[in-house]
């Protein structure tokens, strides 16, 4: 049994959620990795070094540069006959393309799995993670996205897979990339960071989010936000942690001025240690926090910065 | 141009669901139901396109139990022109839903179908992409901005690293993300007017679709519960605990 994992990559580097997808795939069979894009040699080589990957398929063509759903789905469908399972991490790319692949194969996709029971049976969160469903698929090929926070990623090094070229499946031409406006940050990615510090509506405006910067720098943390803070325009959409934003499970999650709505908890409650700082002692966030501090964040954050610097 | 907007009836987003003791699912008896919030955004976008003179007719579709009529009435009160209810015994899976929507699209010939990016009950995030695949149309998922000009929809998408803009040849599929718009509340006069708008009812068989699920739910359980920890009295104490006790910094 062979399993194909679509790998997310950028600038020749693999995205950490894809290493979690490989970890999930190793429970299902012999793992092949699919690296798609333009000039993807370095990414394909990085994928070949992942432990557990026996073969890398490289699809290198101009039409794949922006990972548009239409050509990417056509490629996966062309490759599908050799596999029992097609997987991707639940990244923006994975969520965009995998259901399209599933429909073309007449398969019901299994989204955002958090556990593998056997080759047909998976655990996945429903209702914003307030329930965990165990589902068994009767489809002959399984199309799956993987909740990265639920699987420890495989190491970045240690494997030595062969690399083969995959045939170009062509581009339908019905969609076209126009532009991208990507946030630039020196900090780790939210879904890969060991520490995440997130601000909520309590931050009051975008300017105040900079109060989190020195603490994030000190801890090597990624900065996130609640939906309320993103909706209010304090920070861009890619900061959002929650049911419909990013799902994170860092070693340490610090919720600053976040009340703890169900949809936010859905995105962070699997973190190892949760800290909450909020001036409302009845805020629901304290019900999931390991350490809660009832305080005004505008005094607590400067104190926290000073305290961390004292080390 | 004609627009289709599918809407799903789900447990209201304010309700904290409870798992049934026999582990067969979540308790839905007596629970407040509402239109999926992302579908409200989809309807709102369609209504705005009509207000701007781009859309001429909006057809709302709901697939599920008879009570989905109410969800359609909400869509009609927000500004949809007519409704189609495909009545089923239970909520079908995204694959079957996408097949039924394809059959309706074949009949209605819309230029654009706007869906919510995901339903907040099964959290599948799949129907829009699947419908695009079945129709052979391009897709603009997780949209935060949609512009229609001539035969092209320009869609700004919320992606992991920020925003991405794609141009789609119509007909096309768009799925709505949170920041696309802020849905209106239906006014009382519009709620009254919506009662007179037509709703056509049909069955999956009328569309030639077998709604049998491909996934069997073996059990549904509560997730591991987090217990509330302790309150600390000061920032100094917090940092000391994180260093000495939790050892995470």
Q: Do A302 and A310 touch, CB atoms closer than 8 A?
A: no
Is the per-residue pLDDT at A173 higher than 80?
no
- Radius of gyration, alpha carbons of chain B: 21
A280 shares contact with chain B (CB less than 8 Å): no
Token pair recorded at residue B81: 């022109």
Question: Hey, are the CB atoms on A100 and B159 less than 8 Å from each other?
Answer: no
Residue bearing tokens 């194909």: A4
Residue A141 in contact with partner chain B when CB distance is under 8 A: no
C-alpha distance from residue A184 to each of A149, A180, A198, B203 (Å)? 23, 12, 17, 50
Q: Is residue B117 a contact partner of residue B11, using CB atoms and an 8 Å limit?
A: no
Burial of B137-171, coded b for 16+ CB within 10 Å and e otherwise, reads bbbbbbbbbbebeeeebbbbbbbbbbbbbbbbebb
pLDDT value of residue A52? 96
The H or E element containing residue B131 is: helix B127-135
Contact flag B249-A195 (C-beta cutoff 8 Å): yes
What is the pLDDT of chain A when averaged over all its residues? 96
Q: Does A1 touch chain B (CB under 8 A)?
A: no
Q: Per residue in A70-107, pLDDT tens?
A: 999 999 999 999 999 999 999 999 999 999 999 999 99
B110-136 per-position pLDDT tens digit: 999 999 999 999 999 999 999 999 999
- What percent of chain A lies above the pLDDT cut of 90? 94
A39 touches chain B (CB under 8 A): no
Average pLDDT of the segment spanning B56-67: 98
Q: What are phi and psi of B51, to 5 degrees?
A: -65, -30
* Backbone φ, ψ for residue B144 (5° rounding): -115, -5
Structure tokens at A238: 């890619």
Put simply, the answer to whether B132 touches A69 (Cβ < 8 Å) is yes
Categorize the per-residue pLDDT at B225 as very low, low, confident or very high, splitting at 50, 70 and 90.
confident
Q: Which distant-in-sequence residues (6+ apart) come within 8 Å of A198 by Cβ?
A: A223, A224, A225, A226, A239, A241, A253, A254, A255, A256, A258, A268
In order, the DSSP letters of B178-244 are: GGG--PPPPPHHHHHHHTTS-EEEE-GGGGT-----SEEEEEEEPPPPPPP-EEESSHHHHHHHHHH
Mutation for B interface: A108, A114, A226, A285, most B CBs within 10 A: A108
Q: Which residues of B touch A272 (CB under 8 A)?
A: 248
pTM, two decimals, is 0.95
Residue B61: per-residue pLDDT: 98
Distance from CA of A93 to the nearest CA of B (A): 8
Name the residue of chain B whose CA is nearest to A127's CA. Answer: B121
- Would you say A143 and A86 are in contact if contact means Cβ atoms under 8 Å apart? yes
- B171: cis peptide before it, omega within 30°? yes
Residue A307 sits at the chain B interface (C-beta within 8 Å): yes
Chain position carrying tokens 């990265």:
A148
Measured between beta carbons, the chain B residues lying within 8 angstroms of A178 are 154, 165-167
The residue of chain A nearest to residue B37, with distances taken between CA atoms, is A244
Each residue of A269-297: pLDDT tens digit? 999 999 999 999 999 999 999 999 999 99
Q: CB–CB of A293 and B129 under 8 A?
A: no
**Cβ–Cβ gap B229/A289 under 8 Å:** yes
**Percentage of chain B surpassing pLDDT 90?**
96
* Mean pLDDT computed over every residue of chain B: 97
CB pairs under 8 A between A and B: 269
Q: What is the mean pLDDT of residues B160-168?
A: 96
Cα separation, A24 vs A6, in Å, equals: 12
Q: For B2-244, CATH number?
A: 3.40.50.620
Residue written as token pair 């399993």: A3
Q: From the CA of B45, how many Å to the nearest CA of chain A?
A: 17
Indicate the domain borders of chain B.
Answer: 2-244
What pLDDT, on the 0 to 100 scale, is given for residue A109? 98
* B124, B133, B167 ranked by CB distance to A111: nearest: B124
Please tell me the predicted confidence (pLDDT) of residue A311: 65
């Amino acid at each position: 049994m062979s399993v194909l994992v679509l790998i997310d990559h950028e600038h020749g580097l693999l995205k950490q959620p894809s290493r979690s997808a490989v970890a999930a795939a190793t429970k299902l069979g012999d793992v092949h990795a699919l690296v798609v894009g333009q000039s993807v040699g370095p990414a394909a080589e990085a994928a070949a070094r992942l432990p557990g990957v026996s073969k890398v398929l490289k699809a290198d063509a101009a039409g794949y540069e922006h990972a548009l759903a239409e050509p990417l789905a056509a490629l996966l469908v062309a490759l599908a006959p050799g596999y029992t399972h097609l997987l991707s991490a639940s990244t923006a790319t994975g969520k965009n393309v995998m259901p399209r692949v599933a429909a073309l194969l007449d398969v019901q996709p299994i989204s955002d799995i958090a556990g593998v029971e056997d080759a047909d049976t998976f655990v996945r969160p429903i209702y914003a993670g307030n329930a965990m469903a165990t589902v068994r698929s009767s489809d002959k090929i399984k199309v799956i996205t993987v909740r990265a926070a639920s699987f420890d990623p495989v190491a970045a090094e240690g494997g030595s897979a062969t690399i083969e070229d995959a045939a170009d499946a062509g581009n339908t031409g019905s969609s076209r990339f126009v532009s991208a406006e990507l946030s630039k940050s020196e900090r780790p990615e939210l879904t890969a960071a060991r520490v995440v510090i997130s601000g909520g509506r309590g931050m009051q405006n975008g300017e105040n989010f900079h109060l989190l910067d020195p603490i994030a720098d000190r801890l090597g943390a990624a900065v996130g936000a609640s939906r309320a803070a993103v909706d209010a325009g304090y920070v861009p959409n890619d900061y959002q942690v929650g049911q419909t934003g990013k799902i994170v499970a860092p070693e340490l999650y610090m919720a600053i001025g976040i009340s703890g709505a169900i949809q936010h908890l859905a995105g962070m409650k699997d973190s190892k240690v949760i800290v909450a700082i909020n001036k409302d002692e009845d805020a629901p966030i304290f019900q999931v926090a390991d350490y809660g501090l009832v305080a005004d964040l505008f005094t607590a954050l400067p104190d926290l910065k000073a305290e961390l610097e004292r080390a | 141009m004609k627009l289709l907007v599918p809407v799903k009836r789900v447990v209201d987003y304010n309700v904290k669901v409870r798992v049934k003791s026999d582990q067969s699912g979540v308790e839905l008896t007596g629970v407040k139901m509402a239109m999926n919030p992302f579908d409200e955004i989809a309807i709102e976008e369609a209504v705005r396109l009509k207000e701007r003179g781009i859309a001429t007719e909006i057809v709302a579709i709901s697939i599920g139990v008879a009570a989905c009529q109410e969800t359609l009435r909400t869509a009609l009160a927000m500004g949809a022109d007519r409704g189609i209810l495909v009545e089923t015994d239970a909520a079908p899976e995204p694959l079957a839903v996408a097949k039924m929507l394809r059959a309706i699209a074949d009949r209605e010939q819309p230029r654009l179908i706007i869906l919510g990016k995901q339903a907040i009950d099964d959290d599948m995030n799949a129907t829009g992409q699947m419908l695009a695949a079945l129709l052979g149309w391009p897709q603009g998922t997780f949209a935060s901005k949609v512009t229609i000009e001539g035969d092209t929809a320009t869609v700004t998408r919320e992606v992991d690293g920020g925003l991405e803009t794609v141009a789609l040849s119509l007909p096309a599929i768009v799925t709505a993300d949170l920041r696309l718009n802020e849905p209106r509340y239906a006014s009382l006069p519009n709620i009254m007017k919506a009662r007179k708008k037509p709703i056509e009812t049909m069955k999956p068989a009328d569309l030639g679709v077998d709604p049998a699920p491909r996934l069997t739910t073996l059990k549904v359980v509560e997730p591991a519960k987090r217990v509330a920890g302790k309150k600390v009295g000061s920032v100094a104490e917090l940092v000391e605990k994180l260093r000495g006790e939790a050892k995470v910094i």
